[in-house]
Each structure stands twice: as structure tokens, then as C-alpha cells.
């Protein structure tokens, strides 16, 4: 198969290239990125032929069509979470960029597109009952990330209704972590003042918003889900998450010597909002709102139709990511560059 990966230099893209590196079914890979790996790419980036493209640009479709020519599938992973204060830029990359990818796939005659959706696309849930793919995808209104993910879902709905010959799959993943993305996650979500070296069992105590619970999934497990979606040519949405759910004590066992202190959500949100507006932290209170509101994911469809089984638990995934943050881990990709020593 010939597969094009849009956003191939990022967190999930890097893991997917690793998965394709020893895959006899995928014989040709094209990587699309705004910032391509420099020089002669190191592993796993050398598996791909690279094309530079900003999917938000007005000329993006003209660049993408020849890159998509002859592809059996396109995997669309490109997404922006920064700069978080530039709402227009985020929408241009995330929503308009997705439409550009779909338009280019149609013009190039690509039969199958697999798109990165997210748990963030889902509407709020009132409880901790795991929800399947039929749960509404209205998003969480106070989160720009969630709003854009829900908008992409509507874009995919519209495109499917008009272009029934184009098969579209959607991977709705939980938070995606891996050690190699440690420094990127630190830059994008923690900011310059976070005590990175203290993370990893050395924090004295972990403040934890009341009621917060998290689902995560390792990037390698997500890559396996994407690979199966591609080779099986599936349609529709698939939830992907590790089986265990992380709560305050689970996270504290990794980052703070096992000590956790529950804190008030409203007060935490006010502090986060003030810090974000002051440019002291890189993400705003919408991320907290989304984390508290979205449902837990029922992954039985992916297990049944993709034969997907995660190799990493949520706790193992968290520990892997935290070690990457503490050491400033990265790769030869510009988005995943390591911390300078």
C-alpha cells in the first residue's frame, strides 16, 4: 500500500512512522509536515518521502494533490494547540486545514482517509459510564480544542454526505503520550515555569481538581489502531484508550511521592485562567473544562472491528511520558525536538 501521512512529524505521526517502518503491507510512505525533518532524516523519519506543506495555507490543496496522487490512503494527523491565544490560527489549521486535506484527497482520487478526531469531540457526560461512538459529538463549548474537534466532525459528516465514494474513518483517541514527546508536551502544556526535573516522583504533593479522571493511550498503541484502520479500509468512528482510568492517586504515585491533595475546581479554574491571560502558562481553562466534562471511552468497537488491543496500560503510559518530560526527551523532528542540555 501507498500511504500519505499528513502531520507525520508530530507525536502520533512519529509513532505511526515507527509502525510502518517494519510493515510489509505498507510499502510506500509520504510524510507531509509544515516543518519537515532536516537533512537526511533519522529513524523513523527515513521511512517516508517528505513534502513540506502548511495545511492552513490558501495554496495547500495545490501542494497536497500531487503528493496524494496514487495513494491508497491518507492519514490526517495535523493539528495545532499553539499558539493558544491565536484563535484564528488554530481554526485555520484545525478546521480549514482538514477541509483542505479532504478536498485534495477527493481531487487526487484517494479512496480512503483516516482522520484524527479525539475524545475532546464528545459532548459532556453526566457520569463515568463508558460511552461508545454513538455519543453526541457537540464538544465542550469553553474549550477551543473541543470546539474545533467537534467542527471537524461536522466537516466529515458533510463530506461523507456529498462524497459517498470516499471512505472516511475517525480515530477518537484519549490523551496520547510517549516518552519521545516529553519535551514537546512540556512546551505545549506546562510552559517554562513548570518544575520539569521535579516531575517523576519528586514533587512534594500533587494538587488534583475534585472529580477529575483521565484516560490516556500510548502513541504506539494509537499507531497500531491507525495501521489497522488503513489496511482494513474501515469507515466510521473508533474510540481508542488504555483500559485503566487515571485518578488523582494514580497520577500522584508517579509524580509526587504518592501524595495528592484534592483542590476546588472553581478556584483552580480561576487561577488557570489568570495565569493563561498573563501568558504564564501555555493553555487556558478550557482544557480543564474539557477534561472534567468528556465521557470515558468504550473501546469495544476498535477491539472488535480492528482487532485492537493496547500493549500499554494507562499507568505505564503516564510513567513513560513523565520520564520524557523529566529528561527533556525528543527526536530529530522539529516539533519533537529535545530540550537543549
Residue ranges in the chain modelled with pLDDT below 70:
195-198, 200-201, 341
> Residues 63, 206: one domain?
no
Three cell numbers written together for 297: 471511552
Q: What percent of the chain has pLDDT over 90?
A: 92
> Which residues, at least 6 apart from 266, have a Cβ–Cβ distance to it below 8 Å?
none
88-93 long-range contacts (CB < 8 A, ≥24 apart) are 89/56, 90/144, 90/148, 91/148, 91/151, 92/56, 93/54, 93/55, 93/56
Distance CA 80, CA 190 (A): 16
pLDDT reported for residue 91: 98
pLDDT reported for residue 39: 86
> Which residues, at least 6 apart from 184, have a Cβ–Cβ distance to it below 8 Å?
10, 11, 330, 335, 336, 337
24 is a domain residue:
yes
Expressed in angstroms, the distance from the first to the final Cα of the chain is 40
Cα-trace Rg, the chain: 19
> Residues 100, 203: one domain?
no
CATH number for the domain spanning 144: value is: 3.40.50.720
pLDDT reported for residue 341: 60
Distance CA 232, CA 55 (A): 26
> Residues 72, 107: one domain?
yes
Q: What is the DSSP letter of 224?
A: H
Beta bridge partners of 209: 263
> Residues 20, 128: one domain?
yes
> Residues 112, 27: one domain?
yes
β-pairing verdict for 48-52 and 73-76: unpaired
> Residues 65, 97: one domain?
yes
Nearest to 30 by CA among 60, 54, 64: 64
- In tens, the pLDDT along 103-143 reads 999 999 999 999 999 999 999 999 999 999 999 999 999 99
> Residues 266, 164: one domain?
no
> Residues 170, 273: one domain?
no
What pTM, to 2 d.p., does this model score? 0.96
In total, how many domains does the chain have?
2
pLDDT reported for residue 125: 97
341 is a domain residue:
no
> Residues 322, 252: one domain?
no
pLDDT reported for residue 204: 87
> Residues 226, 274: one domain?
no
H or E stretch at 4: strand 2-6
Domain enclosing residue 120, as ranges: 2-180+215-243+295-327
Distance CA 160, CA 183 (A): 37
> Residues 138, 262: one domain?
no
pLDDT reported for residue 85: 96
The strand ranges marked E within 264-324 are none
8 A C-beta contact, residue 66 and residue 41:
no
Sign of the torsion angle spanned by Cα atoms 138, 142, 146, 152: positive
> Residues 203, 236: one domain?
no
Nearest to 35 by CA among 245, 184, 156: 184
pLDDT reported for residue 170: 98
Amino acid at each position: 500500500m501507498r500511504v500519505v501521512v499528513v502531520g507525520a512529524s508530530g507525536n502520533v505521526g512519529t509513532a505511526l512512522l515507527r509502525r510502518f517502518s517494519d510493515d510489509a503491507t505498507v510499502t510506500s510512505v509520504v510524510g507531509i509536515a509544515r516543518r519537515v525533518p532536516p537533512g537526511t532524516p533519522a529513524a523513523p523519519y527515513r521511512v517516508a518521502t517528505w513534502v513540506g506543506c502548511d495545511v492552513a495555507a490558501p495554496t495547500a490543496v495545490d501542494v497536497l494533490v500531487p503528493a496524494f496522487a496514487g495513494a491508497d490512503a491518507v492519514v490526517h494527523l495535523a493539528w495545532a494547540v499553539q499558539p493558544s491565544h491565536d484563535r484564528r490560527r488554530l481554526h485555520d489549521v484545525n478546521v480549514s486545514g482538514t477541509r483542505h486535506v479532504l478536498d485534495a484527497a477527493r481531487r487526487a482520487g484517494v479512496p480512503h482517509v483516516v482522520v484524527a478526531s479525539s475524545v475532546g469531540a464528545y459532548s459532556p457526560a453526566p457520569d463515568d459510564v463508558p460511552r461508545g461512538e454513538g455519543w453526541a459529538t457537540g464538544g465542550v463549548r469553553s474549550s477551543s480544542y473541543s470546539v474545533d474537534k467537534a467542527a471537524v466532525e461536522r466537516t466529515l459528516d458533510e463530506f461523507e454526505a456529498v462524497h459517498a465514494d470516499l471512505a472516511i474513518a475517525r480515530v477518537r483517541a484519549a490523551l496520547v503520550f510517549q516518552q519521545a514527546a516529553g519535551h514537546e508536551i512540556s512546551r505545549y502544556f506546562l510552559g517554562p515555569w513548570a518544575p520539569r526535573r521535579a516531575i517523576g516522583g519528586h514533587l512534594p504533593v500533587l494538587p488534583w481538581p475534585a472529580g477529575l479522571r483521565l484516560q490516556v493511550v500510548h502513541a504506539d498503541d494509537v499507531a497500531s489502531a491507525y495501521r489497522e484502520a488503513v489496511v482494513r479500509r474501515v469507515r466510521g468512528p473508533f474510540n481508542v484508550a488504555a483500559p485503566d482510568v487515571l485518578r488523582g492517586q494514580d497520577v500522584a504515585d508517579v509524580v509526587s511521592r504518592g501524595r495528592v491533595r484534592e483542590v476546588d475546581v472553581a478556584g483552580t479554574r480561576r487561577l488557570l485562567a489568570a495565569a493563561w491571560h498573563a501568558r504564564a502558562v501555555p493553555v487556558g481553562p478550557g482544557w480543564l473544562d474539557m477534561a472534567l466534562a468528556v465521557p470515558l471511552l468504550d473501546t469495544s468497537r476498535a477491539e472488535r472491528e480492528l482487532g485492537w488491543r493496547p500493549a500499554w496500560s494507562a499507568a505505564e503510559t503516564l510513567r513513560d511520558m513523565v520520564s520524557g518530560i523529566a529528561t527533556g526527551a525528543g527526536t530529530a523532528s522539529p516539533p519533537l525536538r529535545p530540550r537543549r542540555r
